[in-house]
A and B are shown apart, each in its own frame.
Chain A
Amino acid sequence: GAVVSQHPSWVICKSGTSVKIECRSLDFQATTMFWYRQFPKQSLMLMATSNEGSKATYEQGVEKDKFLINHASLTLSTLTVTSAHPEDSSFYICSAREDLNGELFFGEGSRLTVL
């Protein structure tokens, strides 16, 4: 079946540094990908919708300059957490919508810990 790969699955960084998380659809094309944030024991919060070849659409309250999203190809979207701080520590999940039938597939998630 369709697979979405996220990398890295776990990253620890120092406060002030930037971290890039990749979301890749391995066997299908995805014009649209979504980025979510999940705090412990909470639901997934939609951060932004990433569209290939155009700017991402951010949800209210999500800082565009803080969470940079790039969707350079039909199989890859990246989320860069710029100047990360401890409060950015969270579990980040991406999902990719298959162009062919609209099916949505989730990545394995990336746990970010900012020291």
Chain B
Amino acid sequence: AQTVTQSQPEMSVQEAETVTLSCTYDTSESNYYLFWYKQPPSRQMILVIRQEAYKQQNATENRFSVNFQKAAKSFSLKISDSQLGDTAMYFCAFLQYNFNKFYFGSGTKLNVKP
């Protein structure tokens, strides 16, 4: 079975600064997808960024980028120029290649301080 581990239950960052959220996973598969989702107080899950395991290039989406280390099974999220609206729970997720199951980490609560 796949496991996704987020070792930082809570983090804080000053507005405009950069923060990195950690995620490691365990799998025997070679093809899969990795995601970061944001869950604000509204509880709606919002896709932040996704990475296909077969791609070596790290995904980027505006202020969000990942550091994908396939051999180390690590998938960290970097948020640059943090904004107050980034305050939320962030979940790392793993999706099997055949889209059969979707596993979530335990989440990291990010507080962006003014």
Q: Which of A43, A91, A102 has the most CB of B within 10 A?
A: A43
Q: Tell whether, in the assembled complex, residue A109 and residue B44 are in contact, meaning their CB atoms are under 8 Å apart.
A: yes
**Would A43 and B102 count as touching, CB distance under 8 A?**
no
In the docked arrangement, what's the CA distance between A46 and B101, Å? Answer: 8
| Chain B residues bordering chain A, tally (CB within 8 A) | 19
Asked if B62 CB lies within 8 Å of chain A CBs, one says no
A106 CA to B91 CA in the complex, in Å? 13
| A43-B91, A44-B91, A97-B99 known; A106 vs B104 contact (CB < 8 Å) | no
Determine whether A32 belongs to the interface, using a CB cutoff of 8 Å to chain B. yes
Q: Which of B42, B44, B45, B103 contacts A46 (CB 8 A)?
A: B103
Let me know if A104 is at the binding interface, CB within 8 A. Answer: yes
Report the bound CA distance from A86 to B102 in whole Å.
27
Chain A CB within 10 Å — which of B45, B46, B104 has the most?
A: B45
Is the CB–CB distance between B100 and A49 below 8 Å? yes
Contact B43 A44 (CB under 8 A): no
Q: Is the CB of A46 within 8 A of B102?
A: yes
Is A34 an interface residue when CB atoms closer than 8 A count as contact? yes
Measured between beta carbons, the chain B residues less than 8 angstroms from A52 are none
Smallest distance from the beta carbon of B107 to chain A beta carbons, Å?
5
Q: Which of B42, B103, B104, B106 has the most CB of A within 10 A?
A: B104
A108 at the interface (CB under 8 A from B): yes
* A95 touching B45, Cβ below 8 Å: yes
Give the complex CA separation of A59 and B47 in angstroms: 24
Contact of A112 with B by CB under 8 A: no
Known: A43-B91, A104-B95. Is A34-B43 also a contact (CB below 8 A)?
no
B103 neighbours in A (Cβ, 8 Å): 46
Chain B: residues with CB nearer than 8 A to chain A?
A: 35, 37, 42-47, 91, 95, 99-107
Contacts from A to B (Cβ < 8 Å): 32, 34, 38, 42-46, 49, 91, 93, 95, 97, 102, 104, 106, 108-109
